[in-house]
Amino acid sequence: MRLTTGRYIIILLIQTLLLVIDWGINISSLLTRENNAVMLILFIVQDACLILALSALLLTFFSTYVFQTGLVYLLYERFRATLLVLATIYYYYYKRAALRISDPRFYEEIELEQNKIHQQNGQITQ
């Protein structure tokens, strides 16, 4: 399948539409935090849109001359060290963010309870 100008414009419009949908879902998820069912549906739709966007991106890649002639291995050989370093950095920051988000201190009301105790004892804390 050859990527002509018409097909390129269509794929570009689809990717832009999926990006706008993703952006809209992120905004609307901030507004619907109280309703878990709506958020679940929004996130399922968002995941489906991300899969479609990845499929469109791969379709675009596979339509290039480099992929069709099998030169991808040469690119991989040339940039293998860069890809490994970037993958390691990405994995580190991804795990770091996941561990910080799952920290129980963010989900406990320890400071609020301590302030209430101090106020009951007549001490005002900041």
Q: Where are the domains of the chain?
A: 1-69, 71-126
pLDDT band, residue 5 (cuts 50/70/90): confident
For residue 22, what are the CA distances in angstroms to 12, 16, 29, 107, 123? 15, 10, 11, 27, 48
Q: How far apart are CA 11 and CA 18, in angstroms?
A: 10
Q: Is the pLDDT of residue 101 over 80?
A: no
Q: What's the whole-number mean pLDDT along residues 99-109?
A: 72
Q: What is the pLDDT of residues 45-92, one digit of tens each?
A: 988 998 998 888 888 888 888 888 888 888 888 889 998 998 899 889
Instruction: Determine how many CB atoms are found less than 10 A away from the CB of residue 15.
Output: 15
Pick 117 or 76 by higher pLDDT. Answer: 76
The whole-number pLDDT of residue 89 equals 94
The whole-number pLDDT of residue 110 equals 64
Q: What is the pLDDT of residues 22-40, one digit of tens each?
A: 899 988 888 887 888 888 8
The whole-number pLDDT of residue 76 equals 84
Pick 101 or 89 by higher pLDDT. Answer: 89
Instruction: Determine how many CB atoms are found less than 10 A away from the CB of residue 18.
Output: 21
Tell me if the pTM is above 0.85: no
